[in-house]
Amino acid sequence: MFRGASGKEPPSTVTVALRTNENANAKKMASHGDVRAIVPEDGVALQWRDVSYSVTKKAKSKDAPVEAKVILDGLSGDIFGGSLLALMGPSGSGKTSLLNALAFRVPKGPGASVSGTIYANGEEVATPTKMSRISAYVEQEDALFALSTVRETLTFAAKLRLPSDATAEEVEDAVSTVIADLGLVAAADTVVGNEMIRGISGGERKRVAIGMDLLHDPKLIFMDEPTSGLDAFQALNVMTTLKDLAVRKGRTVVASVHQPRSSIFALVDHLVLLSGGRAMYQGDGHKACSAHFAALGEPVPKDFNPADHFLDVISIDYRSPEQTVATKARIERIAKACDVKLHPLVAPAALAPAGADDDDAGTTRKEGEDAAKVGFVAAFWVPFTLLLARTWREQVRDVASLSIKYIMNTFFCLLFGIVYLRMKTDQTSIQDRTGILFFQAMNQAFGSAIGISKIIPSQLKVVNRERAARMYTPLPYYLSTFLVTLPLELFPGILYGTVIYFMTALREGTEYYLTYLAIMLLENFAGIGLGMVLSASFTSVEMAPQLAPAFVILFLMFSGFFLNENNVPIYLIWLREVSFIRYAFQALSVNEFKDATFSCSSGDTSCITGNEHLERLNFDDVTVGGNCAILAGIIVGFNLLALAIVYYRQPSYLALGKDKAKGT
Ligand SMILES: Nc1ncnc2c1ncn2[C@@H]1O[C@H](COP(=O)(O)OP(=O)(O)OP(=O)(O)O)[C@@H](O)[C@H]1O
């Protein structure tokens, strides 16, 4: 039996027998005053009281009232271990919002506020951190890395989520158990895939996403629309898996469910029906709900999916003014009839919360150690090495992207080599040498910055999910991503740079060649740094290749090639000062022309030396060492900026306030 009510205080003394599942292996008697409750030992009793969520919009004018939208209106309820609770309702009714509020996953946003109190096994859960320690949140979108296999994906999560002292066998066991429990044995060694790469099925993807959150054995599982995007068969499979987790493993599962077919609806133990953020029904599933609506004069028609019927009768029909009024009146009547009792809070002493917070005053050392062992924020090195391995794997397995990149590099390398083949050392070659050096500086910047700019957006969904689950902090993530890009960018850079140097016959001498390579590498690093800044700023993979070139072109304009140093408009001088292409091009030019002489045909009075050419370019004060030092500073600056953006953009959620989130 399950009871809840919208905005109602729990009765002071009630005697209830909470639902027990088929094999509720271990049950404990919990007492609260004269209340007796049975709670499966493994599960978490989740109780919420007066949960409200509203968003206020800025008033259009000074005198206009502040507009507030009430999304959840004082909802209260209970769910106990070993049960599957479905949050249902028409689109926009507040299912995801309630799920998020219960899981402390309501995103921070202007004007948004959430209030209420949530208890796990009778103890108030006060912070998102506490909730993340006892629960798992499986997002609607199963963001996964496409080129990792199911086993690799789960092993990565297991290594970060299991206690830090877990042995390799324990990790392997945990992964194998989840693979078996979720019916993923046949798919275990198949890559996850995406729209472009053939991989596992949609249902299997969903189960992998669930599996990643089950590895640390959470007692409480929140799932946002676990069946969305799946065909009927796969949807049933996933819901059966969830039911199984509740029944066999005693877990508490809360899922928002959209339009379930009747076989899925039959799996649901408890139901919260929402409309306009208010409770329309809270109680046991299928039969109890049917009886409740029949008593209200809204019986389920014969041969009709009960879930469809319930959603129909709590939806507003806007097709005509009369229908709108009639359906609104019906909804008011149904809301009023949703007047049921809540269970009193489970006594905290009966069951300790599943995740004692090691920061809490009064937490014993043992509890602190256990909580730390859960490893939600593992030390730097574990996530760093795991992330390094995963990012490397994803990059090198992306054969299509790597091939395109290397084919383009080879093309430009040969093009430049052939066009500027074996330049002479006469006066005409001064222009050619300047040209090839500029092309090199430009190509280096475009290649690295634009290539890198999509790396973070392409991982963003997965990384945000993992960071929301507190699997790692931004620093190991950023460093591992940055380091993986280096060999992939640098080795081809050295190779192609060398081929071009000798094909075009740039300045002879080992020291000039090595200086040229060093400048090119520094520019490459700076380009990677800019790419990381752009990458950290973009949210979509599509934005990166469209916007990144614009930024590179800005730096290109102030490289000193298109516009004389002295003619840069005063208000744009700052762009010139941060143009890493400029510093690279200047240094390459000085390396090539400083103290160099070029043959002059007899009678030609316009012949110049390398130094005079540098003077014309306004590069006469430039030193290679000075520019390399500036490039090093730019590299550090770009990377610090990118890291700061990654920190700033980490997912953050609203804490539950105590004052009711107010609406009009
Ligand atoms: N931050 C916000 N600002 C403004 N409106 C919001 C915000 N969050 C949610 N809403 C609104 O609150 C209502 C409930 O949203 P919610 O996503 O919880 O509904 P839902 O029942 O899960 O819908 P669906 O089934 O379509 O996903 C919607 O009208 C939505 O537009």
For 342, the enclosing helix (H) or strand (E) is none
Q: Is the pLDDT of residue 132 over 50?
A: yes
Instruction: Report the DSSP beta bridge partners of residue 85.
Output: 254, 270
Give the whole-angstrom CA distance, residue 443 versus residue 172. Answer: 46
Ligand 1 contacts CB of residue 258 (under 6 A): yes
Q: CA-CA distance, 553 to 561, in Å (whole number)?
A: 12
pLDDT-based confidence at 339, cuts 50/70/90? low
Lowest mean pLDDT among 381-385, 591-595, 653-657: 653-657
pLDDT tens-digit readout, 411-454? 989 999 999 999 998 998 999 999 999 999 998 888 888 888 88
| Residue 278 and residue 237 in contact, taking contact as beta carbons nearer than 8 Å | no
Q: Using the predicted structure, report yes or no on whether residue 325 has a pLDDT greater than 60.
A: yes
Atom of ligand 1 nearest to the CA of 112: 1
Residue 369 has pLDDT above 60, yes or no: no
Q: Does the domain spanning 27-139+242-344 belong to CATH 3.40.50.300?
A: yes
97 lines ligand 1 (CB under 6 A): yes
Q: Judge whether residue 299 has pLDDT over 50.
A: yes
Identity of residue 148: S
Residue 596: its pLDDT value, please?
Answer: 94
- For residue 636, give every residue at least 6 positions away whose Cβ sits within 8 Å of its Cβ, in sequence order, or none: none
Q: Compute the distance from residue 135 Cα to the ligand 1 centre, in Å.
A: 23
Q: Is the pLDDT of residue 363 over 70?
A: no
Assess: ipTM above 0.90.
yes
Please choose, from the candidates 140, 266, 299, 153, the residue with its C-alpha nearest in 3D space to the C-alpha of residue 212: 153
Kindly give the distance from the C-alpha atom of residue 539 to the centroid of ligand 1, in angstroms, as a whole number: 21
Among 375-389, 498-512, 529-543, the least confident range? 375-389
- Number of helical (H) and strand (E) elements in the chain, helices listed first: 22, 12
pLDDT value of residue 17: 31
Q: Is pLDDT at 268 greater than 60 in this prediction? A: yes
Q: Which residue has the higher pLDDT, 250 or 117?
A: 117
Domain ranges for the chain, please list them. Answer: 27-139+242-344, 405-600+616-648
pLDDT score of 247 more than 60: yes
Cβ of 112 less than 6 Å from ligand 1:
yes
* Most confident listed range (28-42, 60-74, 379-393): 379-393
**pLDDT tens, residue by residue, 188-224:** 999 998 878 889 988 888 889 888 888 877 889 999 9
Closest residue to atom 10 of ligand 1, CA basis: 71
CB of 89 closer than 6 A to ligand 1? yes
Provide the pLDDT for residue 342.
77
C-beta of 96 in contact with ligand 1 (< 6 A): yes
Output the residue whose Cα is nearest ligand 1's atom 4: 55
- Closest C-alpha among 186, 185, 178 to residue 221: 178
Q: Which of 125-134, 219-228, 518-527: highest mean pLDDT?
A: 518-527
273 with 281: CB under 8 angstroms?
yes
Other beta carbons within 10 Å of 22: 8
Token duo for residue 225 = 């629309």
pLDDT digits (tens, 9 = 90+) for 611-645: 999 998 888 899 999 999 999 999 999 999 999 99
- Please name every residue paired with 77 in a beta bridge, in sequence order, or none if there are none: 48
Q: Which residue has the tokens 């629960």?
A: 135
The DSSP code sequence of 452-509 is HHTHHHHHHHHHHHHHHTTS--HHHHHHHHHHHHHHHHHHHHHHHHHHHHHHHT-S-S
pLDDT at residue 628, as a whole number: 97
Q: Give the residue whose CA is nearest to atom 31 of ligand 1.
A: 92
Asked whether residue 246 carries a pLDDT value surpassing 80, the answer given is yes
Nearest in space to 424 (alpha carbons), one of 500, 498, 517, 506: 506
- CA distance linking residue 553 with residue 581, whole number of Å: 10
How many CA atoms lie within 13 Å of 599's alpha carbon, on the beta-carbon side?
6
Q: What CA–CA distance (Å, rounded) separates 33 from 122?
A: 13
Average confidence (pLDDT) over 13-38 = 35
CA of 90 to the centre of ligand 1 (A): 11
CA of 127 to the centre of ligand 1 (A): 23
Q: What value does the CA radius of gyration of the chain take, rounded to a whole number of Å?
A: 32
Q: Which residue has the tokens 């400083």?
A: 594
How far apart (Å, rounded) are the C-alpha atoms in residues 135 and 218? 5
Q: How many CA atoms lie within 13 A of 345 on its CB side?
A: 15
Atom of ligand 1 nearest to the CA of 107: 1
Distance CA 341, CA 362 (A): 34
Ligand 1: which of 96, 139, 257 to mutate, most ligand atoms within 8 Å of CB? 96
Per the prediction, the chain carries an average pLDDT of: 82
Section 274-280 average pLDDT: 92
Atom number of ligand 1 nearest to Cα 224: 22
For position 357, what pLDDT does the model report? 38
Distance (Å) from CA 71 to ligand 1 centroid: 7
Are residues 460 and 368 in contact, defined by beta-carbon separation less than 8 angstroms? Answer: no
**596-630 as b/e: b if 16+ CB within 10 A:** bebeeeeeeeeebbbeebbeebebeebebeebbeb
pLDDT of 28 over the 60 cut: no
* Cross-strand bridge partners of residue 37: 30
